[in-house]
């Protein structure tokens, strides 16, 4: 029998219900927003700057449209912009994917009969349409409230206080899970406990109002709030629905072997922007197939490597084998089967190196388990060899 991970978590506060935001918290809407605004702004000969998303995250559609008009100096009015892009968004709702950990969290809380509510600045009709594409979501929520059903949207606490009223619970017994600063501010103003899951990368320091900041829903520990713990961690790893990525090995930053003493086989992220946006930064593990050498265990980081402060999100796999030579240009295919931890910063290079070697140990032991070892024969990585 495989022993589950049972690391004790310090209790923060006991809560009785969970209130979730939708866009950016449960659903990966950022990619859709970028696609739609890129097309629209292209008509004006302008290019959507992904960094501008910070100005619209968590806002009502009207507020977000107003911010876009102002940021780009558009000649149209806010109403004209909304009337043109609203159908464009509506056509994309069916393509929005659940963020990693969203289905797991909803199923877990629902299975344990923990009351859940959905509170979003989006109009109620849009909320209903979006969640209709995700099986089991609508019936899991005791209360659903849209931004058009309250006088003031977030950062006003009104929407959260209305949820508490409808659930017939005290606001202080509610846990809010939010991705935006507006949502975090609203939750705190409502007197609720707040966990922030920032949808904008590299900015956790801005979420000082939150009671806890986590990297993704994969890192949520419900037991910290007196809720039933997840039981799916196995030997310090979280099994995932497998995903694939591949391409020729490219030269990286030159620090793997030289600085860390850890030879990583870097993959180009070109063409994988949408895939990378679907998966939170962190440390993962799985199997790697090299076209001329075979299949090997691997552990990899996805993200910005805070210690080195990367400007771009990268994929840096470490193939757990001693190679006699470099293999730049060879086709490398990966199947990612599990998650170890969120990406973190370190006070020293030595502590970073020690953690990476610990990640290797965790990955090597996990990949010997039948649950993970079976993927060594996955057709995707086998076809590369």
Tokens of 211: 């009671």
pLDDT of 214 > 60? The answer is yes
pLDDT tens-digit readout, 308-342: 777 788 888 999 998 888 888 889 999 999 999 99
pLDDT of 306 > 90? The answer is no
**What is the C-alpha separation between 161 and 79, in angstroms, rounded?**
29
Is residue 349 in a domain? Answer: yes
Tokens of 47: 């290019």
Lowest mean pLDDT among 233-237, 251-255, 261-265, 330-334: 251-255
Between these two residues, 286 and 305, which has the higher pLDDT value?
Answer: 286
Q: How confident is the model at residue 203, as a pLDDT?
A: 80
Q: How confident is the model at residue 273, as a pLDDT?
A: 74
267 and 178, same structural domain?
no
**Which runs of consecutive H residues, i.e. helices, occur in the chain?**
30-42, 61-72, 78-90, 102-111, 124-132, 158-167, 181-189, 273-278, 349-366, 370-373, 379-382
**Banded model confidence at residue 260, pLDDT cuts 50, 70, 90:** confident
* CATH assignment at residue 164: 3.40.50.1000
Residue 26's domain spans which residues? 12-230
178 and 44, same structural domain?
yes
273 and 159, same structural domain?
no
Q: Is residue 211 annotated as part of the catalytic site, yes or no?
A: no
Q: How confident is the model at residue 384, as a pLDDT?
A: 62
Domain-terminating residue out of 180, 201, 230: 230
Q: How confident is the model at residue 14, as a pLDDT?
A: 92
pTM, to two decimals: 0.89
pLDDT of 286 > 60? The answer is yes
In DSSP terms, which residues pair with 20 in a beta bridge?
A: 118, 177
% of the chain with per-residue pLDDT over 90: 59
Mean pLDDT value of segment 195-219: 91
Is residue 133 in a domain? Answer: yes
265 and 219, same structural domain?
no
Domain-terminating residue out of 196, 230, 264: 230
Between these two residues, 61 and 125, which has the higher pLDDT value?
Answer: 125
**What is the C-alpha separation between 350 and 17, in angstroms, rounded?**
42
278 and 225, same structural domain?
no
* CATH assignment at residue 328: 2.40.30.30
Sheet holding 174-178, edge to edge: 143-145, 116-119, 17-20, 174-178, 193-196, 212-213
Q: How confident is the model at residue 2, as a pLDDT?
A: 44
Q: How confident is the model at residue 199, as a pLDDT?
A: 85
Q: How confident is the model at residue 16, as a pLDDT?
A: 96
pLDDT tens-digit readout, 60-71: 888 888 888 888
Mean pLDDT value of segment 358-377: 97
pLDDT tens-digit readout, 135-171: 999 999 999 999 999 999 999 999 999 999 999 999 9
Is residue 178 in a domain? Answer: yes
**What is the C-alpha separation between 275 and 168, in angstroms, rounded?**
41
Q: Which residue, 69, 57, 66, is CA-closest to 154?
A: 57
Q: Is residue 23 annotated as part of the catalytic site, yes or no?
A: yes
Domain-terminating residue out of 190, 209, 230: 230
**What is the C-alpha separation between 243 and 12, in angstroms, rounded?**
34
Query: How many structural domains does the chain have?
Result: 2
Between these two residues, 128 and 85, which has the higher pLDDT value?
Answer: 128
Q: How confident is the model at residue 324, as a pLDDT?
A: 81
Mean residue pLDDT across the chain: 89
Between these two residues, 118 and 79, which has the higher pLDDT value?
Answer: 118
226 and 260, same structural domain?
no
Determine how β-strand 331-341 pairs with β-strand 282-290: antiparallel
Is residue 60 in a domain? Answer: yes
Mean pLDDT value of segment 289-316: 87
261 and 185, same structural domain?
no
Is residue 7 in a domain? Answer: no
109 and 204, same structural domain?
yes
**Banded model confidence at residue 4, pLDDT cuts 50, 70, 90:** very low
Mean pLDDT value of segment 56-60: 81
284 and 203, same structural domain?
no
Lowest mean pLDDT among 21-35, 134-148, 154-168, 230-244: 21-35
**Banded model confidence at residue 17, pLDDT cuts 50, 70, 90:** very high
249 and 224, same structural domain?
no
Is residue 3 in a domain? Answer: no
179 and 157, same structural domain?
yes
**Of the residues 162, 219, 316, 343, which is catalytic?**
316
**Cis-peptide into 155, omega within 30 deg:** yes
**What is the C-alpha separation between 129 and 106, in angstroms, rounded?**
18
Is residue 306 in a domain? Answer: yes
272 and 316, same structural domain?
yes
Q: Is residue 139 annotated as part of the catalytic site, yes or no?
A: no
Mean pLDDT value of segment 11-23: 92
Q: How confident is the model at residue 6, as a pLDDT?
A: 44
**Which runs of consecutive H residues, i.e. helices, occur in 226-348?**
273-278
Is residue 343 in a domain? Answer: yes
In DSSP terms, which residues pair with 182 in a beta bridge?
A: none
Q: How confident is the model at residue 68, as a pLDDT?
A: 87
Between these two residues, 86 and 22, which has the higher pLDDT value?
Answer: 22
Q: How confident is the model at residue 51, as a pLDDT?
A: 66
**Of the residues 23, 30, 179, 219, which is catalytic?**
23
């Amino acid at each position: 029998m495989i022993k589950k991970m049972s690391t004790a978590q310090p209790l923060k506060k006991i809560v009785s219900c969970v209130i979730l935001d939708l866009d950016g918290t449960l659903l990966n809407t950022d990619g859709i927003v970028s696609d739609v605004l890129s097309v629209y702004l292209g008509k004006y000969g302008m290019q959507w700057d992904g960094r501008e998303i910070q100005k619209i995250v968590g806002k009502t559609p009207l507020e977000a449209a107003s911010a876009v008009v102002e940021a780009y100096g558009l000649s149209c009015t806010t109403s004209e912009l909304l009337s043109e892009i609203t159908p464009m968004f509506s056509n994309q709702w069916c393509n929005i994917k659940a963020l990693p950990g969203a289905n797991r969290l909803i199923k877990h809380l629902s299975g344990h009969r923990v009351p859940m509510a959905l509170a979003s600045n989006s109009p109620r009709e849009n909320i209903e349409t979006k969640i209709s594409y995700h099986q089991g979501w609508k019936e899991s929520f005791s209360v659903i409230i849209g931004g058009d059903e309250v006088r003031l949207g977030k950062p006003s606490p009104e929407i959260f206080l209305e949820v508490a009223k409808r659930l017939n619970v005290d606001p202080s017994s509610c846990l809010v899970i939010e991705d935006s600063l507006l949502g975090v501010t609203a939750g705190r103003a409502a007197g609720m406990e707040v966990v922030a899951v920032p949808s904008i990368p590299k900015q956790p320091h801005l979420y000082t109002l939150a009671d806890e900041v986590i990297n993704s829903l994969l890192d949520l520990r419900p037991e910290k709030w007196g809720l039933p713990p997840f039981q799916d961690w196995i030997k310090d790893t979280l099994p995932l629905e497998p995903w694939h990525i591949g391409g020729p090995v490219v030269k990286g930053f030159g620090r793997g072997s030289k600085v860390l003493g850890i030879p990583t086989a870097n993959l180009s992220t070109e063409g994988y922007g949408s895939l990378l946006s679907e998966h939170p930064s962190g440390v993962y593990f799985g199997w790697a197939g090299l076209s001329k050498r075979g299949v090997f265990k691997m552990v990899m980081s996805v993200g910005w490597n805070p210690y080195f402060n990367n400007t771009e999100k990268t994929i840096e796999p470490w193939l757990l084998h001693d190679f006699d030579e470099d293999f730049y240009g060879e086709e490398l295919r990966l199947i990612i089967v599990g998650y170890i931890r969120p990406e973190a910063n370190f006070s020293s290079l030595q502590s970073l190196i020690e953690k990476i070697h610990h990640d290797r140990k965790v990955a090597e032991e996990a990949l010997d388990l039948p649950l993970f070892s079976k993927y060594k024969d996955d057709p995707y990585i086998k076809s590369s060899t």
